[in-house]
Amino acid sequence: MMKFIKIVFILIFILSPLFAHEGANAQENHQKEHHETPKLVIGIMVDQIRYDYIYRYWNHYGEDGIKRLVNEGFSFDNTHFDYAPTFTGPGHASVYTGTTPAVHGIIGNSWFLKDTGGRTYVTGDSDVSTVGSDSDEGEMSPKWMLSTSISDELRLHSNMKSKAVGIALKDRGSILPAGFTGQAYWFDYTEVRMISSTFYMDELPNWVNEFNDRDLPAQYVSEPWETLLPIETYTESIEDDNRYEGTFRGQDRPVFPHDLPAYAEISGNGIFANTPFGDTYTFEMAYAAIEGEELGRDEYTDLLAISFSSPDHIGHRYGPASKEVQDTYIRFDREMARFLNYVDDNFGKDNVLIFLTSDHGAAHNPEYLRDLGLPTGNYNRSETEELLEEQLTEMYGFNPVRTLRSTQLFLDYDAIQENGARPEHIQRDAAEILIRVDGVAGALTADALRSGTFSDSIHQRIQRGYNPSRSGDVIYWLEPQWFSSSRTVGTTHGAPWSYDSRAPLIWYGWDIPAGNSTVPVSISDIASTVANFINIPYTTGNTGTPMNHFIYENR
C-alpha cells in the first residue's frame, strides 16, 4: 500500500508541471471574461464575393490584409446561404436579422405586390424624404423588414446608448443592417454624395457634410483605371480582350486601361462606383464614421456595418473570370490592410470583433461556359408565361395566370373564384407544366411550401426563401448555370446552387483564435453569434444557430 502511495506522489510530482502548463495555455487562449464585450463590432459585407476569390488571388495579396484575416482569424469554409433566391437585399437582411426571407420578409431586391398589382423596391418608402440632396434617392427605409436587426437589439439592450451605423454605396446595403434604430448612409448616384433619409434623421451630421465636401469621386475619375500590378501577372484570369464582358458608355472594348475621365464626361463622376475606387471611397466613409461618431470610445459596444457595393457592379459587368474582378480584389486587399492597421492603432485588435462575409456569389458567364463545352443555358420567361397561360386556359376554360415575376407564378384569385376552381389544383398543374420547361430544375407549390417538410437541401432553401404573404403561388428554379435572361456579357446571381450560395465567413479580433472549420454553417447563423459575443438578445425573428462553440472548441 505504501509503495502504491509513493508511486502516486511521484507521478503527481512529474506530471504537475504539465497540468500547470495546460492550465496556463487554456488561460492564455481565453483571455476574455464572459461578461466582457468588444468596444466595437465591425460587420464587413463584400457584395458578390465568391468564396474562391479568397484563394484564387492569394499569391497577389499582401501579408496584412486578406491573408491576415485568414491566418489570424477563424474561417468557416462551408458557409452557405440557407435560402433562395440569393440577392443583395435578402443577403443583408439575413446576415443582420439572423433569419431567412420566410421570416424577415425580404424576398428579393423588389417584388410583386399581391394587393395592388404593383411592385415595391426592397427599401422603397415614399413616406420619407431625402436628407443630404435634392433627389428622391433618399426615399428609403427598412419598413418592409419584419424582424429587428442586431443593430436594433444592441441599441435596445443599452437603452439606446450604443451606436449602430450602416454604410454602403447601395441603399439596401446600409439600411437593412442598420435596421430601424441605427443610422444609415448610402450613395446618391445622381448627385454624387452620401445621403440618408428622414426615417433616420432631419439633417446630415457635420462629419458627413465634411466627408461630402472632400469630393473624392472627382479625384477617383481624374485618371484612368489601370491594373495595380503588371497585367501580365494576372494569370488567374482570362485574356483582357474578350467577348464575355460589358463596357462603359463610350468604350469600344472592355480592356485596360479604362479611360475614366472620358467616361465620366458621358456618365458623370458617379461612374467611379463601378470601379475598385468605390471600395476606397467606402473605406474612407468608414473612417469618417468611426471618428465622427466616436465609435468604440466609451463603455457601450458600438456596431459599424460596412457593405462594399462596387465588387457587385464590377462583377455584373465583367464576370468572375475577368482581369477587372481580379484587380478589384487585389486593390481591396490593400485597403483591408490599411483598415486593419487603423483598427490596431486606434483600438487594438483584441478590443474589436470583425466578421467578413458576402450577400451572394455569382455565376460564370454563360457564353464563356458554352465555349468551354460546359453545361449552361438561357431560359425565356416570356415564353414560359405564354405557355402557362395557354395550357392552363385549355385545362380550366379560363386564364388563371396573373403574372410571372422572376421565378414566381402569381395566380389570379378573382378569376379562380369566379370560375369555381380550386387554387391548389391550379398550383399543382402549373408546377407540372413548369418542370417540363427546358432549363427548369424544379417547382414547388405554395401549398407544399407552407405545409411540407423537405430533406433535400435545395428544396429547403426554396422553402426558407418563401414568405406566405409576399411570395408567389408556385416557386421554381433553374438548372445549374442557367440564366433567366438573354444576357451574354458579365454575370448575374440568384440561384440556389453553390456558386451563388457559398460565401466566405471569417471572424477576427476580440477573443477569436486562429483556425478554420468545414462544419456546415449558414449565413443566418451570424447574427446570433454576434449576439452571444456581445451579450445581447437575439433578434425578434432569429432562427439561426450560434456558431461560437465551433470557434472555441478549436482552441
Task: Quote the CA–CA distance of 176 and 164 in Å, as a whole number.
Answer: 12
Q: Which amino acid is at 294?
A: E
Q: What gap in Å lies between CA 16 and CA 416, rounded to an integer?
A: 80
The CB density around residue 202, as the number of other CB atoms within 10 Å, is 8
Confirm whether 88 is a catalytic residue.
Answer: yes
The position carrying cell 397561360 is 389
Spell out the residues 6+ positions from residue 308 whose beta carbon is closer than 8 angstroms to its own: 44, 45, 46, 47, 168, 169, 278, 279, 282, 332
Q: How far apart are the first and last CA of the chain?
A: 40
Let me know: does 238 contact 321? Beta carbons within 8 Å. yes
Helix, strand, coil tally for the chain in percent (to 5): 40, 15, 45
The helix or strand, by DSSP H or E, that contains position 503, with its residue range, turns out to be strand 502-503
Q: How far is CA 135 from the centre of its chain?
A: 26
Is residue 543 a contact partner of residue 528, using CB atoms and an 8 Å limit?
no
Backbone angles phi, psi at 259, to 5 degrees: -80, 80
Using alpha carbons, select from 40, 54, 151, 55 the residue that is nearest to residue 95: 151
Q: Catalytic pick from 88, 99, 148, 492? A: 88
How far apart are the C-alpha atoms of 218 and 29, rounded to whole Å? Answer: 47
* Residues with active-site annotation: 88
